[in-house]
Structures are given as C-alpha cells and as structure tokens.
Amino acid sequence: GENVEQHPSTLSVQEGDSAVIKCTYSDSASNYFPWYKQELGKGPQLIIDIRSNVGEKKDQRIAVTLNKTAKHFSLHITETQPEDSAVYFCAADTGRRALTFGSGTRLQVQP
C-alpha cells in the first residue's frame, strides 16, 4: 500500500519567515495530494491540494509543489503569522478514494 513520509516533525520559525514542510510517497499511481491544518481540539481542515497534472499551486500565502518523478511534494507558507501555528498533515490518494496521511508537522510561529 501507499506510504507517506513527512518531515520535519516539528518546525519553529520567527513571525514573517517562511516555513517548508516536505512529504514523500511510495505509490506512483497516486494522483491527488491534499494538505490539512489541525488546530488544537479540532478536526483537520483542508487548506490546499494539488493534482498530479499540476506542478505548483498557490493560494495567497500558501503554495504546494509536486515532483512526480521524485515522488515528493511540499507545502510552503510565506510571511508566517502566529495564527499559522498548528499541526499540518500531508496526504496522498491511494486511488481507492482513500487517503494515506503523513505523521504530521507541528509548526510554531514565534512572535
């Protein structure tokens, strides 16, 4: 089955700096890669996603890049703010309408 590795497990940045979270996947048939943000005590929230026919997607301060040859994708957050502090998860679609998630990155933005 699909295996998704996510790094780093924790990330601390200064407010205004950029943050990058990286994921690799194992199944070359995967074609959909969402990112979720989870705040304490809440369910994960879909923040951005990318499909296999696109190399990059942006939405305001967040962007995702995908390298299908290398089987990795990344989340980029620019101009970080304290409210960006949360746990972020990457995921890959196995093709059965089921997602396999990475183990999460705890992002702390220091004011």
Partner 1 sequence: DAGITQSPRHKVTETGTPVTLRCHQTENHRYMYWYRQDPGHGLRLIHYSYGVKDTDKGEVSDGYSVSRSKTEDFLLTLESATSSQTSVYFCAISGGVYNEQFFGPGTRLTVL
42 forms part of the interface with partner 1 (CB under 8 A): yes
Contact window for partner 1 (CB under 8 A) among 10-18, 34-42, 59-67, 69-77? 34-42
Q: Please, what is the minimum distance in Å from the beta carbon of residue 68 to partner 1?
A: 16
Report the site for partner 1 in 44-83 (rule: CB under 8 A): 44-46, 49, 51
Q: Which of 1, 40, 60, 69 binds partner 1 (CB under 8 A)?
A: 1
Contact window for partner 1 (CB under 8 A) among 11-19, 39-47, 59-67, 70-78? 39-47
Q: Please, what is the minimum distance in Å from the beta carbon of residue 82 to partner 1?
A: 23
CA atoms within 13 A on the CB side of 67: 10
Secondary structure (DSSP) of the chain = ---EEEE-SEEEEETTS-EEEEEEES-TT--EEEEEEE-TTS--EEEEEEETT-SEEEETTEEEEEETTTTEEEEEE-S--GGG-EEEEEEEE-SSS-EEE---EEEEEE-
14 forms part of the interface with partner 1 (CB under 8 A): no
